[in-house]
Amino acid sequence: MVVPSPVRERKKRETWRLVHSAALRLMTERGFDAVSVDDIVAAAGISRRTFFNYFADKESVVFDPDPDDAALWAALLAERPPGEPLWSSLRELLIGYTGATAERMLLQRRVRLASPELSGCSREVADRFWAAVREWAGGRTGLDPLRLDLTVNAARTVLNTACPHWDADTGIAGLHELIGAGFDFVHPSPSERISS
Amino acid sequence: MVVPSPVRERKKRETWRLVHSAALRLMTERGFDAVSVDDIVAAAGISRRTFFNYFADKESVVFDPDPDDAALWAALLAERPPGEPLWSSLRELLIGYTGATAERMLLQRRVRLASPELSGCSREVADRFWAAVREWAGGRTGLDPLRLDLTVNAARTVLNTACPHWDADTGIAGLHELIGAGFDFVHPSPSERISS
DNA sequence: CGCAGTTCATGCACCGAGTGCAAGTTGCAC
DNA sequence: GTGCAACTTGCACTCGGTGCATGAACTGCG
């Protein structure tokens, strides 16, 4: 992939957002299962096949990050100070990321409320995000792979646990409070056990 | 459900195990995606429709607990001493459960190795198990719902993180070592933060 | 401008997962 | 036995998802 020309890229992002917003609008109205891919492509004015060029599957249209998000989280990762403990970095990262994508967090929350059938699905934000986080964290700490994964996955669990407890009326600040409380509560720490 | 007659129940368990073992045998050979439901039912000698009477979907045949497991984990939960901290209870529970179902853990692990397409699927053991744990924990502690969920989900994360790191050659003892290390490392604790 | 190369959208045929329904079979209680 | 409930089965159908081949749109270049 040799950096596509800006026009193509712009169109792709436009189409992505068009399909995405059409899908989420329908899903907040009727729920995830009650909206078929054909409904989505009809509403978005594209072909069924094109839908699957943009999204690997139907769930992805809910959970995939915006095309611009990769740049966003890369920036957030880059601005973490060198010596900062991993757990603190992850907290700030999630605060920053959810803050910057607040509208989409709220949208996703609304879709979830309208779609109880999605309750088993654990990805509050996309897998690609966490893959990037995992890779970044791997190059920054002397932690062994097990503890590294434990830490990153614990952060993911904090977010995934906080989201269902979030009352959307409290706004993104309410979510941030829950995330903060979760990070304080879980807080993995190397061999700092209180009682054996 | 008014306690079914023993013959019916025995037959159901037999069929469950028949289908389950046929499915997992095929999947360890060819991988999850390369085995269709039709393959499974042909190997098990039942009808396609019956398969879906036993399993909600194809993934369930890998991850659903054995019919007897509910009794097993109920027993494990019952034998936790009254005053025991939740985190310790969860650790012992997972040690006990994975120990008692060691063969199936090893089988699942083999299926996963043969099926990279399952990597995104996060349920190392079934959802019903964790639902039962969550309910049990809820009646045992003064923790608020958020922290309760954080604790239970953290335990789940420990297991889900430990499993991919597990070298099956080390046997179930190797897995238990990883689980123990994970529980020591994560260890959610109410406001016991080391550094602000 | 015209041309070649690439990217992308689309239609089509197809596979496999999962469901609703209605009819048949099997164990159960009396 | 008879009647009832649980279970199995086949069938038709919907929907998610893919491979492929074709055509349109955008690209850089002379």
Burial class (CB in 10 A: 0-12, 13-18, 19+), B71: exposed
Q: Are B24 and B104 in contact, with CB atoms under 8 Å apart?
A: no
Q: How far is the CA of B64 from the C1' of C24 (A)?
A: 30
For residue B112, pLDDT over 80 is answered with yes
Q: CA B17 → CA B14, B24, B65, B73, distances in Å?
A: 5, 10, 11, 19
* pLDDT score of B63: 93
Distance CA B196, CA B193 (A): 7
pLDDT one-digit tens code per residue, B178-187 = 999 999 999 9
Distance CA A87, CA A131 (A): 16
- Whether A154 has its CB under 8 Å from any CB of chain B: the answer is yes
Residues of A in contact with B178 (CB under 8 A): 146
Tabulate helix, strand, coil % of chain A (nearest 5).
70, 0, 30
Q: Are residues B149 and A165, on separate chains, in Cβ contact within 8 Å?
A: yes
Given B120, B164, B193, which is nearest A184 (Cβ)?
A: B193
B1 compared with A81, residue with greater pLDDT: A81
Whether B37 sits with its Cβ under 7 A from any strand C atom: the answer reads yes
**Cα-atom radius of gyration of chain A, to the nearest Å?**
18
Q: Testing the interface with A: which of B186, B192, B193, B195 to mutate, by most A Cβ within 10 A?
A: B186
User: Using 50, 70 and 90 to split pLDDT, how confident is the model at B1?
Assistant: very low
Mean pLDDT by 10 residues, chain A (196 residues): 68 95 97 97 97 96 93 96 95 97 94 88 78 94 93 96 94 97 90 46
Distance CA B28, CA A61 (A): 32
Burial class (CB in 10 A: 0-12, 13-18, 19+), A131: exposed
Region B102-119: what's the mean pLDDT? Answer: 92
Q: Are residues B150 and A157, on separate chains, in Cβ contact within 8 Å?
A: yes
The type of residue at B103 is E
% of chain B surpassing 70 pLDDT: 91
Residues of A in contact with B156 (CB under 8 A): 157
Distance CA B24, CA B8 (A): 24
User: Using 50, 70 and 90 to split pLDDT, how confident is the model at B141?
Assistant: confident
* pTM across the whole model: 0.91
Closest CA to B159 of B189, B187, B125: B125
A64 secondary structure, DSSP code: S
Find tokens 């973490």 and name the residue: A80
Distance CA A67, CA B117 (A): 24
Distance CA A174, CA A186 (A): 18
For residue B169, pLDDT over 70 is answered with yes
